[in-house]
Chain A
Amino acid sequence: NAGVTQTPKFQVLKTGQSMTLQCAQDMNHNSMYWYRQDPGMGLRLIYYSASEGTTDKGEVPNGYNVSRLNKREFSLRLESAAPSQTSVYFCASRDRGGTDTQYFGPGTRLTVL
Chain B
Amino acid sequence: KQEVTQIPAALSVPEGENLVLNCSFTDSAIYNLQWFRQDPGKGLTSLLLIQSSQREQTSGRLNASLDKSSGRSTLYIAASQPGDSATYLCAVGSSGGSNYKLTFGKGTLLTVNP
A binding-site residues for B, Cβ under 8 Å: 4, 31, 33, 40-45, 48, 50-51, 54, 56, 58, 90, 92, 94, 96, 99-107
Residues of B within 8 A of A99 (CB): 49
- Provide the bound-state CA to CA distance between A90 and B31, in Å: 22
Residues of A within 8 A of B46 (CB): 101-103
Q: How many A-B residue pairs have CB under 8 A?
A: 61
Q: Do B101 and A45 touch (CB < 8 A)?
A: yes
B binding-site residues for A, Cβ under 8 Å: 31-32, 34, 36, 41-46, 49, 51, 89, 91, 93, 96-102, 104-107
Q: Do B49 and A106 touch (CB < 8 A)?
A: no
Instruction: Please name 30 pairs of A and B residues whose Cβ atoms are closer than 8 Å in the assembled complex, sorted by A.
Output: A4-B43, A31-B100, A33-B102, A41-B106, A43-B91, A43-B102, A43-B104, A45-B101, A50-B97, A50-B98, A50-B99, A50-B100, A51-B98, A54-B98, A90-B43, A92-B44, A94-B100, A96-B100, A100-B32, A100-B49, A100-B96, A101-B46, A102-B46, A102-B102, A103-B46, A104-B36, A105-B43, A106-B43, A107-B41, A107-B43
